[in-house]
Amino acid sequence: MIEIDYTIERDTGRTKPDIFKPVIKGINQSPLLAEIAADNSRGKSTFLQIMAISFAASENNLKNPELLAKINRLVNEDYQSLVFDLTIDNPNFEYIYNISKPNKDKKNIHFIITDRKTKHKEELTPTSVKKQFKLIYDIPNEPLSRLKNLVEDIKGVQDEITQKIPLLKNILENNLKEIINQPKEEEVNALESKRIKIEEDINELIKRIKRKERKYESLGLLCEIRELQKINSAIRKEEKKLSEYKKKEKKQGQPPKVDTGKRTSIFLVLSRQEDEIEILLKEVYDLIMSNFSQDIDVEVLKNKYKRIDIDDTRNTPTQNTTANTFIIYIEKELRNLGPAVNEKNQESVLILKDLIHVLSRFEDSDYDIPGINMSPDKLLKIFNSKIKDLGFSQEIEEVKNRATDLIREIRILLEEHFKYYIANKDILKTESGSTNYIDYRSLIKQTQEDIRANKKKEKNRINSLSSKGVPETKIKSMLNSIVRKFPELSNYTNIDSILNLYERVRVEISSLKRKRDNKGHALSIVKEDFSLMKRLLKRKNKYSDHRETLESYLDSLVAISHDFEKMNNYLKIMQSNGQLPDNDLAKRYIKTINMLLAKKLKFVTLEGNNHPLKEVNYFKGYFILDNDKKIYFNDLGTGNTQSNYLRSLLRRGYNQPLIVLFDETAMMANHSLHEVYKEMKKLYNNGSLLAGIVIKAGEKDSVKDICKIV
Amino acid sequence: MSKIETTHLIDIFEEKTKKDLIDLLSKDIKPEKYLDELIKKSKSKK
């Protein structure tokens, strides 16, 4: 019995190699003389090749170069590996033979003989094997069979090339992909510039935020300081009034015998109204002096202000009062200042202001506005710059508006004051009608209460400033410091204006912080891309300079892949005598195959004689001999010659045990083949033949015992 | 791989790149050397 097991691993370029194992039913444990039939690619010849390898097949003991090439391919090619284990147990022999190749990466073959009786084992070297056994391994030299083998050889070569194509394609594609995706030096530099620019922008934003935060803090303090100044001013005024009341009370002496309660309350209302008018007049005066001292005649303004007599507001119609003269002058001066923007540009300013209002909602967006390809932020900068160029100033506008509001308020108060006085004029008179007695005691009391209330406010304000790190002694120097750092705040004396600006700066700070965060996010993305690109740049593909060459080879490889597919198909058609297509590739291929077959076949054996070959036409099925005789395949014999040849091989009388391996005997007729089988059986029976395998083509797998066939 | 078969298969094609590829694939060359061989072949005028 012959026991065989083998594994062939073949790398086809895919992740896992193809694995081949014995698949023909019965081949694992076959008779010592076996006829094996199976369809193509079932592993018949592989079995014979392993048998031949086991018995040290080489150019010394194997004359057929095609068979030798096949054996070499099985053990020497890098893309495939072989392991096998073979045992031959022939009862006619003294030893049991075990031949194995256990390591796929090593070529070593172990030939162990085991004594049937003593079980003693011994390993033979390849040289000993060669000397001790006679290997007969051949393919019947019948022309058509040989021709068929040659065609199979061509197919084998084509298959080997085809199998390597995906691997090469993969290598080409991967390298090209790497080359294409590899960043260019300029791209990396551009990204680095972008990174630096973003970092600069962020630093600039941080600086602006810090400055705005300082301004915001200063505005908070400024607001409190201005409040404190206002309270101080009120206290001073009330103290002055208190002193006057005390003097007047002393001068007035005892009160007349009249009911003074109602009169005093009227007097108090009138005094409060006058105080309010005076405060507003002072505020509008300070506002104009602070903001327009360069544009108006300061001396005239001062005189007009000094001439205000608050007492005339009681009994003089509003339009004739000195206070009204003053505010009419202010109105005239404001008109003279004219609009900051000329008439022609006013419409532009209005449009720009509306646009700025709309765009400011999208200030933080990076979206480029279609048509102009510009971000809202960039466009806002342009609009703001334009509106400034046109002479528009938000702050000046606010000052003017505030002055106008104050004037309106003063006029209303003057009207109310005058009306109130006229309405209560008679009550203010004494019984005699000549003396106005005033209840200074109540006024003094009221004023003292006002002073106390204001002092309480003053104390609270001082405490608040102190808690913010500005002790009372440092308030003045803090104010100077604020004005020094932010000169534009020197004109801000009005609390409402300060609070408006305070809110505006707060909004600006949060907007700047949002921008900084957005830039920070962009920076982290750019940094990540930059480091990735830099790494890729360092790992430059070694074929980067040959991109076009590789692309050209890849294109050709894809084309070849299709061409080989077609060529394999042509070969199948040729073997089955089908209809070949009429195209250039098919024509070139047939011509090549015919030339190749003629070169390899060299001669045709007919009736025991070799005839040199001039041409082969495989597709049309004929040979042309050197004497121009045309011989059609169909006219050739069925293998008698070959049978005689094989039998003559077996009859030569060898001294060593024989191993007989005949491949591809399909073209031999059964009766010719049986003659060979008889010869083999005779050798087996007389103990000369250790093992004999004959391979036939067949559609179904079969392993038959030759001793039972003949 | 048989040289004679390879030579004939190469002759079927006209383009040099295809000839180079068949020649490469018919030889016992380690895959990691494929591209070096192709670059070498692309420089030869053969």
Q: How many domains does chain B have?
A: 1
CB pairs under 8 A between A and B: 81
Chain A contact for B1, CB < 8 A? Answer: yes
CB A458 within 8 A of CB A359: no
The answer to whether the Cβ–Cβ distance between B42 and A549 falls below 8 Å is yes
Instruction: Say if residue A637's pLDDT is above 70.
Output: no
- Chain A residue with CA closest to B11: the answer is A592
Strands A80-88 and A95-101: antiparallel
Chain A contact for B44, CB < 8 A? Answer: no
Percent of chain A with pLDDT over 90: 46
The answer to whether the Cβ–Cβ distance between B38 and A549 falls below 8 Å is yes
Q: Where are the domains of chain A?
A: 1-142+654-710, 143-181+562-635, 185-255+453-538
Q: How many helices (H) and strands (E) does chain A have?
A: 20, 16
- Chain B residue with CA closest to A556: the answer is B18
Alpha helices in A254-321 (DSSP H): 261-292, 298-306, 312-315
How distant, in Å, are the alpha carbons of A7, A55, A71, A133, A572 from that of A50?
11, 9, 8, 15, 27
Instruction: Determine the pLDDT at residue B46.
Output: 54
Instruction: Say if residue A610's pLDDT is above 70.
Output: no
Q: Please classify residue A546 by burial: count the beta carbons closer than 10 Å to its beta carbon, then call 0-12 exposed, 13-18 middle and 19+ buried.
A: buried
The answer to whether the Cβ–Cβ distance between B38 and A553 falls below 8 Å is yes
How distant, in Å, are the alpha carbons of A198, A368, A377, A519 from that of A373?
19, 5, 12, 19
Chain A contact for B40, CB < 8 A? Answer: no
Q: Tell me how close the Cα of B42 comes to any Cα of chain A, in angstroms.
A: 7
Of the candidates B12, B35, B39, the beta carbon closest to that of A588 is on B12
Strands A658-662 and A630-632: unpaired
Preferred mutation among B9, B26, B39 to probe A, highest tally of A CBs within 10 A: B9
Q: Tell me how close the Cα of B41 comes to any Cα of chain A, in angstroms.
A: 10
Encode A521-531: b = buried (16+ Cβ within 10 Å), e = exposed.
ebbeebeebbe
Give me the sign of the Cα torsion angle A327, A495, A239, A261. Answer: positive
Q: Tell me how close the Cα of B25 comes to any Cα of chain A, in angstroms.
A: 6
Alpha helices in A639-705 (DSSP H): 640-650, 670-685
pLDDT digits (tens, 9 = 90+) for A153-206: 788 889 889 999 999 999 999 999 989 888 888 888 898 999 999 999 999 999
pTM of the model: 0.41
Q: What is the mean pLDDT of chain A?
A: 86
B contacts of A588 (beta carbons < 8 Å): 12
CB A679 within 8 A of CB A651: yes
Chain B contact for A558, CB < 8 A? Answer: no
Mean pLDDT of A530-552: 89
Q: Tell me how close the Cα of A83 comes to any Cα of chain B, in angstroms.
A: 20
Chain B contact for A14, CB < 8 A? Answer: no
Amino acid at position A85, single letter: D
CA distance A273 to A263: 15
Instruction: Determine the pLDDT at residue A162.
Output: 93
Instruction: Say if residue A307's pLDDT is above 60.
Output: yes
Q: Please classify residue A49 by burial: count the beta carbons closer than 10 Å to its beta carbon, then call 0-12 exposed, 13-18 middle and 19+ buried.
A: buried
Domain that holds residue B38: 3-43
CB A30 within 8 A of CB A112: no
B contacts of A567 (beta carbons < 8 Å): 12
Q: Tell me how close the Cα of A553 comes to any Cα of chain B, in angstroms.
A: 6
Residues in contact with A630: Cβ distance below 8 Å, sequence separation at least 6, in sequence order: A622, A623, A624
Residues in contact with A184: Cβ distance below 8 Å, sequence separation at least 6, in sequence order: none
Instruction: Determine the pLDDT at residue A281.
Output: 93
pLDDT digits (tens, 9 = 90+) for B1-46: 557 788 889 999 999 999 999 999 988 888 999 999 999 999 986 5
CB A628 within 8 A of CB A622: no
How distant, in Å, are the alpha carbons of A81, A165, A166, A176, A549 from that of A553?
29, 12, 13, 11, 6
The answer to whether the Cβ–Cβ distance between B26 and A599 falls below 8 Å is no
| Beta-bridge partner residues of A608 | none
pLDDT digits (tens, 9 = 90+) for A92-112: 999 999 999 999 888 899 999
Strands A689-697 and A658-662: parallel
Of the candidates A73, A157, A546, the beta carbon closest to that of B6 is on A157
Mean pLDDT of A108-117: 94
Mean pLDDT of A265-270: 86
Instruction: Say if residue A707's pLDDT is above 80.
Output: yes
Of the candidates A153, A172, A589, the beta carbon closest to that of B2 is on A153
Instruction: Say if residue A434's pLDDT is above 50.
Output: no
The answer to whether the Cβ–Cβ distance between A560 and B21 falls below 8 Å is yes
Chain B contact for A549, CB < 8 A? Answer: yes
The answer to whether the Cβ–Cβ distance between B24 and A158 falls below 8 Å is no
- Residue window 326-385, chain A: list those with CB within 8 Å of chain B: none
CB B10 within 8 A of CB B22: yes
The answer to whether the Cβ–Cβ distance between B12 and A592 falls below 8 Å is yes
pLDDT digits (tens, 9 = 90+) for A311-337: 888 888 899 999 999 999 999 988 887
